[in-house]
A and B are shown apart, each in its own frame.
Chain A
Amino acid sequence: MLEQQLLNALTLGSVYALFALGFTLVFGVLAVINLSHGAVFMVGSYAALAMVSHLNAPLWVAMIGAMVVSGTIGLLVDVLVLKPLRARNAPHLIPMIATIGVGIMLTSAAQGIFGAEVLRFPEEIMPMGDFMVGEVHVRALEIAIVAIAFVLMAVLFTLLKRTQLGRALRAIAESPKAAYLLGINVEGLFHITSFAAAALGGIAGVLIGLNFNAITPFMGQPMLHKGIAVIILGGMGDIRGALIGGLFLGFAEVISKAYLSSQMGDAVAFGLLFLILLVRPSGLFGRKLERKA
């Protein structure tokens, strides 16, 4: 019934939004479409699983650990891959292609280390205390997922809106030259952004891994496609857009699966996205903003 589906949609949509936020943040600040973001999402999932099952870490510790691991990978990608390309003034496509390579490397590494089969979190670490609201079966896990996603998003929004760091990031997004002349350590903030974005991607991986309780080395790829769709829908580089777009995709996917066709849910969701883009080619919040030198 509808209420149950809405809860599913909210859960899924908030994780999509979280994933897309990191994605769009990197695009906004570094002007790079980082196609390793899906693989980083997958790494976050495995990192949490490894900490829970091999180190007996409590789930919340594993979540923080997963953010640190995936964030570190994001930072390394920036330092080892993107920075040398920036220094050589590589054309826009080059870093994008390079990050595809990073994604493939991470996926193969996960396959090599953990195998290709589906892994699951042990049942006993799942948050307990499911309850009923009317007819709706509410899992404690879903509440936790939505809460974590929204708290992290609220932190990010506040940071960007209210702090000097956030203003500096917005300055870089509009004009790196202006940012340099303000005394902003642009390279340093590229590193911070890459870490934070990958950490958000990683925690999204943990949340999806928990929600469906299925972790595979290939789980990043469909997520990457959804992330791309979400940030294009929301307007490239726009964080409000990523939030709204993520929720939209979650609802479109769940509702069309439930009421139209369980097989073709993704097709319907992506078809809707396409229709919206026909009407608003720059996305919901996209401005026709030319980036200055």
Chain B
Amino acid sequence: MSVLLRVHDLAVAYGHIEAVKGLDFHLNEGEITALVGANGAGKSTTLLALSGLIKASRGKIEFQGEDITRLPAHQIVEQGLVQVAEGRAILTTLTVEENLLLGAYTRQDKEGIPASMEEVYQLFPRLKERSQQFAGNLSGGEQQMLAIGRALMAKPKLLLLDEPSMGLAPIVVQEIFRILVEINRRGLTILLVEQNVRQALKIARHGYVIETGKIVLADSGANLLANPKVEEAYLGG
């Protein structure tokens, strides 16, 4: 199993306050890995640093064996590391189709874009029905589907997801997670950041638990689910 992403001693500071205090973790190619923890633990900050939106104050991020710590954000996407940001990450003033086309912004193989679009529409048939509508008019679940579909348009090698379950009804969350498992089964490596710890660990091969900017537990998803410490802190005892 080869390592796709390796993070070494990653620290991120907002001014004098260190939000992430030296993380070490790695993602295996083809697996779903979960990074779970409470609100404010530093999960989103970690993802923003991986995507280059915030610069690391210390440490190293290696993607496919190359150091991407200092790369500008758009070049990180070009390398195939694509993030679905937290909340409503879609562009509400653009149509569904325009959002998807922008997802392919860094693609070199322009002729492959229609096929990818068809694939996304197959995965999310509701997006196809609404392709000409403004994305702002979609329901919360549809917006999340659009955000994921748009990320897939980039043909990523690694997909980062920041709280895809946030603010969605349980049945929609189920649907989103089912699709994540499906796209992982097709070969895509996924890093899933979640407060919805149970759902995330259920589908993750490996998991990391983060507290106040530090990784406090690392194990397989199944073991973490069964871990009494995790159960007590995150799964409501």
Contact = CB atoms under 8 A, between A and B. Distances in A.
Size category, B interface: 20 to 34
Interface in B33-79: 51-53, 72-74, 76-78
B82 interface: yes
Interface string A152-170: 0000000000001001101
Given A177-B53, A178-B85, A183 B94 contact: no
A98 interface: no
Interface stretch (B102-110, B179-187, B196-204, B226-234): B102-110
Contacts of A5: none
A134 B190 CA distance: 72
Contact of B53 (A164, A174, A180, A184): A180
B144 interface: no
Interface string A171-211: 10111011011111111000000000000000000000000
A174 B94 CA distance: 9
Given A167-B101, A168-B105, A171-B102, A181 B77 contact: yes
B53 A181 contact: yes
Contacts of A80: none
Given A170-B91, A174-B93, A182 B85 contact: no
A178 B90 contact: yes
Interface residues of A, number: 19
B154 interface: yes
B77 A183 contact: yes
Given A167-B98, A171-B94, A181 B51 contact: yes
A164 B101 CA distance: 8
Interface string A254-293: 0000000000000000000000000000000000010000
A184 B89 CA distance: 15
A170 B90 CA distance: 12
B89 A170 contact: no
Q: Which of A164, A178, A289 has the most CB of B within 10 A?
A: A178
B83 interface: yes
A177 B89 CA distance: 9
B89 A181 contact: yes
A164 B102 contact: yes
Give the top 9 A-B pairs by smallest Cβ distance, nearest first. A183-B77, A183-B106, A180-B73, A185-B74, A183-B74, A174-B91, A167-B102, A183-B105, A182-B105
Interface of B: 51-53, 72-74, 76-78, 82-83, 85, 89-94, 98, 101-103, 105-106, 150, 154
Interface of A: 164, 167-168, 170-171, 173-175, 177-178, 180-187, 289
